[in-house]
Amino acid sequence: MTRSSAINESPLSVEEREKFEAQYSEIATLAGGLAHEIKNPLSTMSLNLELLTEDLETLDVPAKHRMLKKVENVQKECKHLQDILDAFLQFARVGKLALSSANLNDLVSDFIDFFRPQARDASIEISPHFDADLPQVQIDQALFRQVLMNLALNVIQAMPAGGLIELQTSHKDGMVYLDIIDNGKGIDEKVKSRIFDTFFSTKPGGNGLGLPTVKKIIDAHHGTIECESEQGRGTRFTISFPVC
């Protein structure tokens, strides 16, 4: 797979960008507030289900196990809703960035050290290839760590029997690039065209916010993210950030 060229788009003016950011901030605030309003009664429901389980455990009736199973199913659905809300709040909060100058090699290397035990458990080998002369970028390090984690978890799901993940950095024409390449099962064209769509997921129980959150974070940095994939041959995500 070769890196495809980015699509040329006319940059927004300062006024257009400020207007867009203000509109986005208002929508994000409303959405975040709504999610919080849902979380509160959901937490109460979950607590009461735990108390109900404790009460049922003390009963000595023939239907006890059947009742406990039904309560357990409701608890699982509450947990699923809680996970969706947490992911949505994370998605909605991406806005203002805590930028600092950093070398992408250092950030990726730190993440590899953190992620290596989980990769080992999944029989995944990590192979880094870093550009020694990489320029600095302005980046929100906590959000970039989230990007790496979301993409790494995606890789684990793509390679259930294990495999290889390569992380390559490079720079060209005022941009710093990070390629994340796996030799997993790949993505078909129909799915690939929608992977960054909010709430789109092919995974059972998936919330469809992982990759949209990744794109939102990259967009907020005025960067780009592209995906190339061939079924049976693997997937390449290419991320770019402007040089400081």
Distance CA 32, CA 86 (A): 10
Count the helix, strand and coil residues of the chain and give each as a percent rounded to the nearest 5: 50, 20, 30
Q: Which positions ≥6 away from 71 have C-beta within 8 Å?
A: 49, 52, 53, 56
The domain spans of the chain are 14-93, 100-242
CATH topology of domain 14-93: Helix Hairpins (1.10.287)
Residue 158 banded pLDDT, cuts 50, 70, 90: confident
Domain 100-242: which CATH number of 3.30.565.10, 3.40.50.2020, 3.30.70.890, 3.30.110.30: 3.30.565.10
Confidence check: pLDDT of 2 > 50? no
* pLDDT reported for residue 123: 96
pTM over the 0.85 mark: no
**138 versus 38: which is more confidently predicted?**
138
Confidence check: pLDDT of 134 > 60? yes
DSSP reduced 3-state for 2: coil
* pLDDT reported for residue 6: 39
